[in-house]
Structure 1
Amino acid sequence: MPELPEVETTLRGIAPHIQGKKVADVVLRQTRLRWQINPNLAEILAGQEVLSCRRRAKYLIIGFETGTLLIHLGMSGSLRIFTCGDARIEHPDKHDHVDMVFADGTVLR
């Protein structure tokens, strides 16, 4: 399970790449997770700007104009940033359940 330092490192790694960007789409690959993800998440977040990225304990908190997204990395979770044109965007791994795609082509996976 990622411990607090790993969660903080993840936050510091993703924040500069997503803060201030607008969400274009959310791709849900796996709906049968321990905690269900709202199937309407793409519609809810479409056009929303990321206003803040912070951490509370082991939770990552992404603030949007109309609400907050809470992320917990679970037992072995990770978040990665892909930039437009990166070939890896087209080939998600088995445990890559969600992509947040931004208007500039950046992907948070």
Structure 2
Amino acid sequence: MILLTPAGLVVRIPYHHDGESNAMTRADVKSVVVDVLVRVVTAVGAPVPTIDDHMRPLGTLPSFDSILAEDTTVELFEQLGLGADLDVNPFIKTNRPASVIEVVDQLYELVNHGEQT
């Protein structure tokens, strides 16, 4: 959950806490995914292209390679309150780059059902 305080500060509250879970919608997960992707691309100093459902971040976003995808996965897991799992790479789907909606679907399943699609 992302909150904007009266002072204009952004506060991030994990969706999982103390073993309890608040169900997230796909829209919630997509918002986190897009936010993290924009921050990652901005951090490397590249212009941020339009990020839509069918875009494949790996190989399409400027400077977004397999190493940056791993770092981004760690950031996404933290933001979504998931435990680190280095065997999960939501940016790959059946040996090819995943689209944003496929990334969202994989993370949605992990957040709400604890399994990867």
User: TM (normalized to structure 1)?
Assistant: 0.28
Asked which structure has the greater RCO (Cα within 8 Å, sep 6+), the reply is: 1
User: TM (normalized to structure 2)?
Assistant: 0.27
In terms of fraction of residues, the more helix-rich structure is: 2
In terms of fraction of residues, the more strand-rich structure is: 1
Structure of higher CA gyration radius: 2
